[in-house]
């Protein structure tokens, strides 16, 4: 039977529970254990698919088509274990399922209540598909004391009793702030947070204390005394120079040892951490630097492009260079060409990422044109590929009115809403005006690459599978004029109906993809497209 590690947070949000969970899972995995990480989100949205990137950050998509919290990206990047639909649940999804059951009469006339019906549904989710695992790490979103999280806290309290106290451990992440006026680290917020958690029936076994400064032994002992945990189970967590240094840092502070001790597990193998040592060596001892300009819509919040940023870093790791990411607001690129050139000329590579809506679209198209005309490495992802096709249609194929139906009616719909496509389960159909949530082409789909294409040489094969999240698609009927203009369709869906990749053979590096390769990139296994893009940027840096 799998053992459970429940991770809660207190005092304030954004303490790094997701990174801590990913790091702990990576450390347990490095000891030979089989792990999986799950995220419980207390908000009432069914999933983050319809939430603003400015509020929630990116939407992470799994192979099986789930739109999930961005923390699942951390989980995959640190462990290499592919996330699934069953690894992220929200209050909205729990209540949606319960209400559907009630309407069907599944509860046989019983009064439907938070306890036991909501808590039972949460527990069922936590225990699903865990038979082949050693540890299941469950992160509870939000902070202890939030009204929204109370059913989840109660559910994990019950679950520990269900599986036995030897099979569940509670890890609480809290804040030890430094008060500059007093010149001291203060432990009271941690004490109050633990007291709040204890009042809900949960005594933490391990405390992870986020602090700006080293935690003195005296404060560590004080926290242990007042919070009723062993001193060795009070784990300092200071900022790291890179997130990929966090597993090594937590191991040095004894986090994995403390968790195993809480389970009563003795004699576990020491972790094999050479993978992480190599990553840190490549990040700290780089042999060059490149600057990538990301021309996007949500650049005010880097978390909106979290996986993208990390994939660029991974490309740097693969090439042993430091990647500087310059976030550029696409709306600022809708002015004079001289202004665009001033912003983009210092860039060694230009990337136009995914997004939704018309705002900034002309700036993205101008960025594509700059990259094409100046021979700067260009990478278009999802909407970025669509903008590359519209730019090509207008400026190299002679279709001046080329546009996308996403922005309104157009005489030349080079990009249009995808109304049907084939899945493993059969034909999927969509209509304009339908629900927005969960209705896109989501998850992993295969593509066939042209054997003589640039992308085939990058992948080293002609059959690939990548993750998608889009509602609009390049219109295959425009293939002939676009290819005459030099934009080649080098990747297609297996049935030949949906364009997946475009490239310009006469350009140093110009590739657009309809999917999101950043979602599958990892520091120890960089995505080949990002590794190749950064390699092209290195060559460009020698020309600038």
Give residues with Cβ within 8 angstroms of 178, minimum separation 6.
184, 185, 186, 211, 212, 213
Strand pairing report for 499-503 and 510-513: antiparallel
- Whether 3-278 shares its CATH topology with 286-417+472-541 is answered yes
Q: What is the DSSP annotation of 48-115?
A: GGGS-HHHH-PPEE-TT--EE-THHHHHHHHH-PPP-GGGEEEHHHHHHHHHHHHHHTTTTTPPP-II
The answer to whether the bond into 116 is cis (omega within 30° of 0) is: yes
Q: 290-310 burial, b if ≥16 CB within 10 A, otherwise e?
A: bbbbbbbbbbebeebbbbbbb
CATH code of the region 286-417+472-541: 3.40.50.880
Which 8-state DSSP code applies to residue 445?
E
Q: Is 382 a catalytic residue?
A: yes
Residue 20, both tokens: 């801590």
Domain ranges for the chain, please list them: 3-278, 286-417+472-541
Q: Residue 478 to residues 366, 379, 412, 489: CA-CA distances in angstroms?
A: 21, 21, 9, 10
Q: Is 527 a catalytic residue?
A: no
Q: What is the pLDDT of residue 333?
A: 78
Q: What is the pLDDT of residue 73?
A: 93
Q: What is the pLDDT of residue 302?
A: 76
Catalytic residue, chosen from 466, 500, 518, 527, is: 518
Q: What is the pLDDT of residue 91?
A: 94
In terms of pTM, does the model score above 0.85? yes
Catalytic residue, chosen from 382, 406, 503, 507, is: 382
pLDDT along the chain (544 residues), means of 10: 94 90 97 96 86 79 91 95 93 94 91 95 94 95 92 96 95 94 90 96 96 92 95 94 95 96 93 96 96 89 89 97 94 73 92 83 91 96 94 92 86 79 54 58 93 96 95 91 95 93 97 96 97 97 73
Spatial CA neighbour of 487 closest among 511, 515, 514: 511
Q: What is the pLDDT of residue 421?
A: 47
Give 290's Cβ-side CA count (13 Å radius). Answer: 29
Q: What's the rounded Cα separation, in Å, for the pair 242 and 78?
A: 13
Catalytic residue, chosen from 172, 251, 470, 516, is: 516
Q: Is 518 a catalytic residue?
A: yes
* One CATH from 2.40.110.10, 3.40.50.300, 3.30.1360.10, 3.40.960.10 for 3-278: 3.40.50.300
Q: What's the rounded Cα separation, in Å, for the pair 19 and 39?
A: 12
């Amino acid at each position: 039977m799998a053992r459970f590690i429940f991770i809660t947070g207190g005092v304030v949000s954004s303490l790094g529970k997701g990174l801590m969970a990913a790091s702990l899972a990576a450390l347990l995995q490095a000891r030979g254990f089989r792990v999986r990480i799950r995220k419980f989100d207390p908000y009432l949205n069914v999933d983050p698919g319809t939430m603003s990137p400015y509020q929630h950050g990116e939407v992470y998509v799994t192979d099986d088509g789930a739109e999930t919290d961005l923390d699942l990206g951390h989980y995959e990047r640190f462990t290499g274990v592919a996330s699934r639909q069953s690894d992220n649940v929200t209050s909205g999804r729990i209540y949606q399922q319960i209400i559907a059951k009630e309407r069907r009469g599944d509860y046989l006339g019983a009064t439907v209540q938070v306890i036991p019906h909501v808590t039972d549904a949460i527990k069922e989710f936590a225990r699903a598909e865990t038979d082949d695992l050693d540890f299941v790490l469950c992160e509870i979103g939000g902070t202890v004391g939030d009204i929204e999280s109370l059913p989840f806290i109660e559910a994990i309290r019950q679950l520990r009793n269900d599986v036995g106290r030897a099979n569940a451990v509670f890890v609480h992440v809290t804040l030890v702030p430094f008060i500059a006026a007093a010149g001291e680290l203060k432990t009271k917020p941690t004490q109050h947070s633990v007291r709040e958690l204890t009042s809900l029936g949960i005594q933490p076994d391990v405390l992870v204390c986020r602090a700006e400064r080293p935690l003195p032994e005296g404060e560590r002992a004080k926290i242990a005394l007042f919070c009723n945990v062993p001193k060795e189970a009070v784990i300092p967590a200071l900022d790291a120079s890179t997130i990929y240094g966090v597993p090594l840092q937590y191991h040095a502070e004894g986090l994995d040892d403390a968790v195993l001790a809480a389970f009563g597990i003795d004699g576990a193998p020491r972790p094999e951490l050479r993978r992480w040592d190599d990553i840190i060596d490549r990040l700290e001892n780089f042999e060059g630097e490149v600057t990538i300009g990301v021309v996007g819509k949500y650049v005010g919040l880097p978390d909106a492009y979290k996986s993208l940023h990390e994939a660029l870093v991974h490309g740097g790791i693969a090439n042993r260079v430091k990647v500087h990411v310059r976030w550029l607001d696409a709306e600022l690129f809708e002015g004079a060409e001289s202004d665009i050139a001033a912003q983009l000329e210092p860039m060694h590579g230009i990337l136009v990422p995914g997004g939704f809506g018309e705002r900034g679209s002309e700036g993205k198209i101008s960025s594509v044109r700059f990259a094409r005309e100046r021979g700067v490495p260009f990478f278009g992802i999802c909407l970025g590929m669509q903008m590359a096709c519209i730019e090509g249609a207008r400026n190299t194929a002679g279709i001046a009115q080329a546009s996308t139906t996403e922005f309104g009616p157009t005489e030349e719909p080079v990009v249009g809403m995808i109304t049907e496509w084939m899945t493993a389960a059969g034909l999927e159909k969509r209509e304009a005006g339908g629900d927005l949530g969960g209705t896109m082409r989501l998850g992993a789909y295969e593509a066939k690459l042209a054997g003589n294409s640039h992308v085939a040489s990058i992948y080293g094969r002609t059959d690939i599978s990548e993750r998608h999240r889009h509602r609009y698609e390049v219109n295959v009927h425009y293939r002939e004029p676009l290819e005459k203009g030099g934009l080649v369709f080098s990747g297609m869906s297996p049935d030949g109906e949906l364009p997946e990749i475009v490239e310009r053979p006469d350009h140093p590096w110009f590739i657009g993809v309809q999917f999101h390769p950043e979602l599958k990139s990892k520091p120890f296994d960089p995505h080949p497209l990002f590794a190749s893009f950064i390699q092209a940027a290195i060559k460009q840096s020698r020309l600038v």
